[in-house]
Amino acid sequence: MSLSPRFLALLAAEGIEALRVLDVGCGTGRLTLWLAPRVKHVVGVDRDSAAIQEARRLASAMRLSNVEFHEVDVEREEYGRWQPDLVTAHLCVSDAIIERAGRALAPGQCLAMVAIHVEQWKETGRVSRFAYDEARIEGALRIHGFAPEVIEVEREVTRFASVEEGLAAAVGLEDRWRVDGRWFRYIAFLEEGGRTLTRAHLIVKARRS
């Protein structure tokens, strides 16, 4: 999945050139490395040491000097030490993360996130424990001191003509879905005549009150 153009446009509209950004749950740095040439400084944090090593390698290959990556549990550690003016979280969103962003940001500063929406892969009959609907994300933001400015669902429903096309649409997901039981529920959905696969994310921008 590529980065959502709508999400990137919302970030750019913040006037980010002079900002210090903290990218929470950065993985291999997909968003962090997009941000680096566009901001003053960016820190990517993730608990996956292999992902952090790969992110560092990519940043070095891109000759970026204003980016750093650290191995951190973002649901346990506080963010203040990086003094962010903006916090981003791309497909790594939880109440604990919103709470920590609320403590690290000053009034007027922004939290921008892409979260899994509850309709993501609804054909598998299982909602991710990281998924939010609009009301729940708004509630979490308000509790932790944010005024939501944008909460939008980006939804993409792929439709197919046959079971085979449905299986092909889920290629790359099978291993993960086999582990948690979603694969067999998806097969049952296809066998019962289901012919869709839904991807759904929440695009969120909120300002610290």
Ligand X SMILES: C[S@@+](CC[C@H](N)C(=O)[O-])C[C@H]1O[C@@H](n2cnc3c(N)ncnc32)[C@H](O)[C@@H]1O
Unique residue bearing structure tokens 């709470």: 99
- Smallest distance from ligand X to CB 129, Å: 11
Nearest-approach distance from CB 120 to ligand X, in angstroms: 11
**Least Å distance between CB 96 and ligand X?**
8
DSSP code of residue 27:
T
Whole-number minimum distance, CB 97 to ligand X, in Å? 8
Q: In whole angstroms, how large is the CA radius of gyration of the chain?
A: 18
Binding site for ligand X (CB under 6 A): 25-27, 30-31, 46-48, 51, 73-75, 90-92
Closest chain position to ligand X (CB): 27
| DSSP code per residue over 89-146 | EES---HHHHHHHHHHSPTT-EEEEEEEBTTTTGGGT---TT-B-HHHHHHHHHHTTE
User: DSSP 3-state assignment of 10?
Assistant: helix
CA angle (35, 93, 117) in 5-degree steps: 105
